[in-house]
Amino acid sequence: MIFLLILLLIIIILAFLSIKIVKQSEVYIIERLGKFHKVADAGLTIIIPFLDRVRSVVSLKQQTMDVPPQGVITKDNVTITIDTVVFYQITDPAKAVYEIQSLKKGIEYLGITTIRDIIGKMDLDETFSSRDEINSKLRHVLDEATYKWGCKIDRVEIKDITPPADIRDAMEKEMNAERNKRAMILESEAERQSAITIAEGKKQAAILEAEADKEAQIRRAAGEAQAIKEVAEAKAREIQMVYDAMKKANPNDKLVQLKSLEALEEVAKGDANKVFIPFEATSALGSLGAMKEAMKDDKKSNNKTDK
C-alpha cells in the first residue's frame, strides 16, 4: 500500500515536471542535455524530466523599451539631452536567447551610440525640426543591427529634446521677438488692406456719382429736347392752322404781307439774340418801304397845293 502511494506520488511529480502549458503570445525555449532542442509554441507541451528543461520564456508581443536620457553634443557644440523610446518585437526566439546575452541591453547601447552619431552631425535648430528624420535613421540603423538577434525594430520615437537652461532662455527670447515681429507685420498688413479698401470704396462711390450725374444730364437734355420738339410741333400745328384758315379766306397780297409782319413782330419778342428774316418777309418790307415813300411824296404835294 505504501509502495503504491510512493509510486503515485512519483507519477504526479513526473507529470508535473513533464507537462508544460505555454500561454498565448509566448514560446518556451527547450534545451535537452544543455543543448537547444526546440521552441514550444502556445498550448500543451511535454518534456522529458531531468533531460529537458525550459531555458527561457520569450514573449512574442511588441515590446517597448525606454532608452535612458543621454547628453549628446550637436554640430554647433551645444549639449542637449535626448529621451528615446524603442518599439521592437522578437521574430526568432532562439536567436534572441542564444545570439546575445541581453537583448534589451544590446538595443539600449546601440541606440545610445546611434543617437550620438546622428545628433553630432546636426545643428541645434535642425534637431528640433528634424525629429522624423532622426527617428527614421535610428530605426533603420537599429533594425539592421538587431536582425541577427532575431529582433525587428518597428518604431523609434524621440520623446523629448532638452537644451541647456541658457539656450532655452535665448530661444524663448528669440521666439518672443519673432512673435512680435509677425504681429507687427500682420497689423501693418491689416492697416494697408483697410486703407486700400477705403480708397477703393471712395473710388467706386465717385464713379457711381459721376455716372449718376451723367445719367441725370442725359435725361435732362432728353427731356428738354422732347419739350422743344413738342413746342415746335405745337407751333407748327398752329401755323398750319393759320395757313389753312388764310388759304380758305383767299387773302390778297397786302393782307398776307401784313400778317407776315405781325408774325415777325411776335418772333422778335422772343429770347433769341438773332432774328432770321425769310426772303418773302424782306420783299414785304420793301413794298412797305415803297408805300411809305409814296405816302410821304403825296403828303408833300398836298402841302404845296394848300400854300
pLDDT surpasses 80 at 76? yes
Q: Are residues 69 and 94 in the same domain?
A: yes
83 shares its domain with 156: yes
Q: Judge whether residue 285 has pLDDT over 70.
A: no
The C-alpha cell of 266 is what? Answer: 411776335
Out of 41, 59, 77, pick the residue that ends a domain.
59
Indicate the number of domains in the chain: 2
Q: Is residue 89 part of a domain?
A: yes
Q: Is the domain of 55 the same as that of 67?
A: no
28, 59, 90: which is the final residue of a domain? 59
Rounded to 10 deg, the angle between the 103-119 and 131-146 helix axes is 140
Q: Which of 111, 146, 163 lies at the terminal end of a domain, its last residue?
A: 163
Of 9-13, 53-57, 113-117, 253-257, least confident by mean pLDDT is 253-257
Cell, residue 269? 419778342
CA 125 to CA 31: how far, in whole Å? 53
Mean pLDDT of 55-70: 89
User: Does residue 125 lie within any of the structural domains?
Assistant: yes
* Judgement on whether residues 154 and 97 belong to the same structural domain of the protein: yes
- Same domain, residue pair 50 and 73: no
Same-domain pairing of 14 and 29: yes
pLDDT (tens digit per residue) in 161-207: 888 787 777 777 777 788 888 888 888 888 888 888 888 888 888 88
Q: Is residue 31 part of a domain?
A: yes
Q: For residues 56 and 29, is the Cβ–Cβ distance under 8 A? A: yes
User: What's the confidence (pLDDT) of residue 254?
Assistant: 59
Q: Is the pTM of this model over 0.85?
A: no
CATH of the domain at 113: 3.30.479.30
Please check whether residue 289 lies inside any domain of the structure.
no
Same domain, yes or no, for 76 and 145?
yes
Instruction: List b or e across 152-164, with b for residues whose CB sees 16 or more CB atoms inside 10 angstroms.
Output: bbeebbbeebebe
Is 224 among the domain residues? no
Query: Domain limits at 28?
Result: 2-59
Q: How far is CA 127 from CA 32, 69, 161, in A?
A: 51, 15, 8
With respect to residue 142, please indicate whether it lies within any of the assigned structural domains. yes
Tell me if 74 sits within 8 A of 124, measured CB to CB: yes
Q: Are residues 48 and 71 in the same domain?
A: no
Q: Once rounded to an integer, what is the mean pLDDT over residues 122-149? A: 88
**Using an 8 Å Cβ cutoff, are 131 and 50 in contact?**
no
Examine the domain organization and report whether 31 and 93 are in the same domain. Answer: no
Among the residue ranges 20-29, 217-226, 287-296, the one predicted with the least confidence is 287-296
Contact by Cβ (8 Å): 90, 150: yes
Residues 69, 16 share a domain? no
Asked, for residue 131, whether it belongs to a domain, the answer is yes
The secondary structure element, H or E, covering residue 30 is strand 26-32
From residue 185, how far is each of 176, 225, 278 by CA, in Å? 14, 59, 80
Whether 70 and 159 share a structural domain = yes
> For residue 12, is it within any domain?
yes
Assess whether 132 and 45 both reside in one domain: no
